[in-house]
């Protein structure tokens, strides 16, 4: 039967088979960023194939046809993103741009004589930038997942990449090394920082240790939150994660979190210690702005 199928027929089947992936499937929200990034690069490949397929049935012979194809791809991309937004996915103008890049590359392949050189140059530049962004994200993610027992010591230039609420790396106040992370927290009901995704595999260790600096003249109560991927994808109930408060005296404080307590924290199940996703540190009812400094966050075996 395969002998009866022409290459064009196989391409039609491939395009039709891949189309549902715009609305279903794909990496979960807790997959490493480079996996999600790589998945989104599929927009370029899909529209390269789809535009090439279109050109095989309707040859491009004039520039107005090129403009019409690109305008149609733009409108189709906008509709796809609007539909995706309605089914729980994020609207992404970046993916729309990837669609146009894929289509432009296909037009260069099938109708380069009618394509302005500046257009293909721009598309190739965007492609190279996207591929370099993927390579950088993959290098960053894999390095972070392979430096156990260290979680963060703020010595790398990209240390703030996955922190939420952390504002700067500073050499002014450190516990060890040359730099520490600082967060300028505002007064409020909940004020803090979180690292997601954090180092995923915490198996084989006994404690999480970190250094936290309290710049105020009175004791502050810091809450440590830890959860796994299963919690992140659930209703995120308070009883399904680890939450424990620690008193910070003025100056540097050495916090130790027993991982046995983390594993047993969720009600009715065990925390997946090889699937940790988020580490959060926050203050409840902070009545004045506070400069929180963190350093040397790591797992230990003692």
| Choice between 201 and 24, residue whose per-residue pLDDT is larger | 201
Confidence label for 292 from pLDDT (cuts 50, 70 and 90) = very high
CA distance 110 to 216: 67
The string of pLDDT tens digits covering residues 209-265 is 999 999 999 999 999 999 999 999 999 999 999 999 999 999 999 999 999 999 999
Bridge partners of 252, per DSSP, are: 213
The string of pLDDT tens digits covering residues 5-53 is 455 556 666 666 676 767 677 888 899 999 999 999 999 999 998 998 8
Confidence label for 299 from pLDDT (cuts 50, 70 and 90) = very high
The string of pLDDT tens digits covering residues 145-198 is 999 999 999 998 889 989 999 999 999 999 999 999 999 999 998 999 999 999
Residue 289: per-residue pLDDT: 95
Residue 6: per-residue pLDDT: 54
Mean pLDDT of 193-211: 97
Confidence label for 1 from pLDDT (cuts 50, 70 and 90) = very low
Confidence label for 2 from pLDDT (cuts 50, 70 and 90) = very low
Residue 7: per-residue pLDDT: 53
Distances 88 to 24, 29, 32, 85, 229 between C-alpha atoms, Å: 10, 11, 19, 5, 19
Bridge partners of 243, per DSSP, are: 225
| Choice between 114 and 272, residue whose per-residue pLDDT is larger | 272
Which residues, 6+ apart, have CB-to-CB distance to 244 below 8 Å?
A: 223, 224, 257, 261
Spell 14-52 as b/e; 16+ CB within 10 A means b.
Answer: ebeeeeeebeeeeeeebbbbbeebeebbbbbebbbbbbb
Judged against a pLDDT cut of 90, whether residue 120 lies above it is answered with yes
The string of pLDDT tens digits covering residues 58-79 is 888 889 999 999 999 999 999 9
pTM attached to this predicted model: 0.85
């Amino acid at each position: 039967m395969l002998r009866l199928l022409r290459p064009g027929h196989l391409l039609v089947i491939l395009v039709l088979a891949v189309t549902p992936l715009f609305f279903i499937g794909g990496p979960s929200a807790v997959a490493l960023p480079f996996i999600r990034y790589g998945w989104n690069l599929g927009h370029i490949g899909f529209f390269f194939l789809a535009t090439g397929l279109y050109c095989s049935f309707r040859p491009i012979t004039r520039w107005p046809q090129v403009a019409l194809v690109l305008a149609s791809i733009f409108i189709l991309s906008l509709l796809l993103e609007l539909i995706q937004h309605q089914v729980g996915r994020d609207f992404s103008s970046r993916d729309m741009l990837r669609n146009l890049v894929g289509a432009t590359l296909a037009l260069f392949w099938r109708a380069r004589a009618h394509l302005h050189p500046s257009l293909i140059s721009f598309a190739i530049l965007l492609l190279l930038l996207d591929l370099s962004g993927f390579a950088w994200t993959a290098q960053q993610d894999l390095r972070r997942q392979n430096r156990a027992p260290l979680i963060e010591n703020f010595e790398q230039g990209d240390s703030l990449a996955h922190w939420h609420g952390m504002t700067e790396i500073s050499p002014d106040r450190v516990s060890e090394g040359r730099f520490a992370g600082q967060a300028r927290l505002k007064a409020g009901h909940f004020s803090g920082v979180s690292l997601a995704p954090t180092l995923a595999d915490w198996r084989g260790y006994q404690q999480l240790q970190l250094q936290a600096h309290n710049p105020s003249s009175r004791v502050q109560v810091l809450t440590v939150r830890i959860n796994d991927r299963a919690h992140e994808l659930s209703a995120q109930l308070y009883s399904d994660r680890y939450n424990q408060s620690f008193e910070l005296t003025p100056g540097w404080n050495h916090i130790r979190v027993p991982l046995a307590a983390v594993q047993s924290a969720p009600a009715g199940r065990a925390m997946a210690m090889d699937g940790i996703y988020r580490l959060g540190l926050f203050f409840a009812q902070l009545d004045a702005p506070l400069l929180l400094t963190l350093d040397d966050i790591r797992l230990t075996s003692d």
